Amino acid sequence: MQIPRQLLEEIVAHAREESPRECCGLIAARDGQAVAVHRVRNVAINPKSAYFMEAKEQYLAMRDIEDADLEIGAIYHSHPRSEPVPSETDVNLARQWPGMRWMIVGLQGGEPEIRTWRIVEDAFHEDAHEVQDG
């Protein structure tokens, strides 16, 4: 997936604003090109170590993406205290979204680290994103 630096910075800002809670949202795309970010509120019982998208906000974001004739290019969330590698919780959640890309923002250690994954059943592999300037 290609993503403009401005959208990536918006996702990182969301992660920092929500820390120490995990943030979450959707990335709208067209033909593998990210075009918009849709923040969704995290309503998990323990939002410091998990995320669960607020249902109405998730529905509205998905509707907006569909109405704009776009697709969900990725689901994003943050790991405020760990590396941006899928957790067991992430892998379990991914079963509901087969084939989806997952972008994770890791905030441990100061500088954010962003990695994108595909999770299939109990396995995950990196699915690199390309940052575009301009």
pLDDT category at 28 given cuts 50, 70, 90 is very high
pLDDT at 48: 87
pLDDT exceeds 80 at position 134: no
Count of the separate structural domains present in the chain: 1
pLDDT tens-place string over residues 87-104: 988 888 888 888 899 999
CA distance 34 to 26: 10
What the block records as the tokens of 74 is 């990725």
Place of tokens 């760990």: 82
Contact yes or no for 94/51 (Cβ under 8 A): no
What the block records as the tokens of 105 is 């923002």
What is the average per-residue pLDDT within 35-40?
98
Domain of residue 100, residue span = 2-132
What is the average per-residue pLDDT within 104-115?
92
What the block records as the tokens of 54 is 């607020």
The residues annotated as belonging to the active site are 22
Average pLDDT, the chain: 94
In angstroms and rounded to an integer, the radius of gyration of the C-alpha atoms of the chain is 14
**∠ Cα 76 77 81 (to 5°):** 150
Q: What is the CATH number of the domain that holds 24?
A: 3.40.140.10
